Amino acid sequence: MLNEEILEQLRFLGEDDPEFVRDMIRSFLKEADEKIKTFGNCTPEELERLCHKLQGAGANVGAQALPELFQQIRTALKSEPARIPELLERLPSLFEQTQKALLEFSATL
């Protein structure tokens, strides 16, 4: 679900300023939640752009499974568009799991 190596880097970064890391995580979760809710109304180009942005932002805060799903969506947009609905159906549950895990991590800082 989460990338332990990135979490360790964030833990180190948060030694002097844990609130900075918590803010990064909260900011990512808020933005991802807002953007994911728009996915059903996006053009393929918009969906690719949003997935690209959220993939990088998620990886930066230690999420692993969610960025992997964003990458799968981006790949499907290019080569298997019929898979998009199935991949999008997985998104809310995976986001919820990732959110829970990141909030639990941030509480340990």
What pLDDT does 38 receive? 96
In this prediction, residue 5 carries a pLDDT of: 97
pTM of the model: 0.95
pLDDT value at residue 41: 94
User: Model confidence over 17-73: pLDDT tens digits?
Assistant: 999 999 999 999 999 999 999 999 999 999 999 999 999 999 999 999 999 999 999
Average pLDDT (78-88) is: 97
DSSP 38: T
50: amino acid identity, one letter: L
Query: 3-state DSSP call for residue 49?
Result: helix
Name the DSSP letter for residue 3: -
Residue type at 91? L
Q: Are 50 and 38 in contact (CB under 8 A)?
A: yes
Is the confidence at residue 13, as pLDDT, over 90?
A: no
Using the structure block, give the residue that is written with the tokens 């979490």.
Answer: 7
